[in-house]
């Protein structure tokens, strides 16, 4: 007997579903939850329910989605972003040109009864630290020296006086931060 239809020659289990060796970009699978093609599910606000639907109805697609989730999950991205942000801030602090222009003064103990005054940030105003240290020494009649990249230590507690002395000598300095008492 000749078959009436070619289709009857094909065993029934091969008719439905993708066939091996044939690419099927033609079939778009739609999600039963959001009714969008499943590749758009992740943009749907109720993605969690989509995933549940996928797990029940299209387990193969669901496992693909799950793999993508673990590959580039949001948590990984967040971590990277935080790291980048952290580095950026560090760099800004180090660079004198980009950093905030301000002078900081603080008091630090020296021995049991005496204190020293620490001035930082003068170089952000392009002030020669050696000249500044000498000026403070003369002004307060005490030792004063450059002790760091952008730091002057004045022997004596002159912190409160600096709020008047610094703007008087360098009018361009309009912001002086009082860091209070600092341990060194
Ligand atoms: Zn969906």
Q: How far is the CA of 52 from the centre of ligand 1 (A)?
A: 9
Distance (angstroms) between ligand 1 centre and the Cα of 47 equals: 6
State in Å: Cα 69 to ligand 1 middle. Answer: 15
**Which of 147, 164, 144 has the alpha carbon at shortest distance from 155?**
144
In contact, 75 and 66? CB cutoff 8 Å: no
- pLDDT, tens only, 43-89: 889 989 998 999 999 888 888 777 665 554 445 455 445 544 444 44
CA of 59 to the centre of ligand 1 (A): 13
Angle between helices 47-57 and 59-71 (to 10 degrees): 140
Given a contact cutoff of 8 angstroms between Cβ atoms, the answer to whether 105 and 176 are in contact is yes
- Between the CA of 45 and the centroid of ligand 1 the distance, in Å, is 9
Q: ∠ at Cα 130 (106, 143), nearest 5°? A: 60
DSSP 143: -
Identify the three-state secondary structure at position 118: strand
Q: pLDDT tens-digit profile of 133-176?
A: 999 999 999 999 999 999 999 999 999 999 999 999 999 998 99
Q: Give, for 83, the enclosing helix (H) or strand (E).
A: helix 74-94
* This prediction's pTM: 0.46
68 Cα to the center of ligand 1, angstroms: 15
């Amino acid at each position: 007997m000749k078959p009436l239809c070619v289709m009857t020659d094909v065993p029934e289990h091969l008719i439905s579903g993708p066939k091996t060796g044939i690419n099927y970009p033609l079939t778009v699978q739609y999600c039963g939850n959001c009714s969008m093609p499943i590749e758009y599910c992740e943009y749907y606000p109720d993605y969690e329910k989509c995933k549940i639907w996928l797990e029940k109805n299209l387990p193969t697609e669901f496992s693909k989605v799950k793999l993508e989730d673990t590959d580039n999950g949001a948590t990984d991205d967040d971590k990277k972003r935080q790291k980048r942000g952290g580095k950026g801030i560090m760099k800004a602090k180090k660079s004198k040109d980009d950093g905030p222009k301000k002078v900081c003064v603080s008091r630090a103990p020296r021995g049991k009864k005496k204190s020293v005054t620490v001035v930082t940030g003068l170089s952000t105003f392009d002030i020669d630290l050696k000249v500044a240290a000498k000026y403070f020494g003369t002004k307060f009649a005490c030792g004063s020296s450059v002790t760091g990249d952008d730091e002057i230590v004045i022997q004596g507690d002159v912190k409160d006086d600096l709020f008047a002395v610094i703007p008087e000598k360098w009018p361009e300095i309009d912001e002086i931060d009082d860091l209070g008492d600092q341990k060194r």
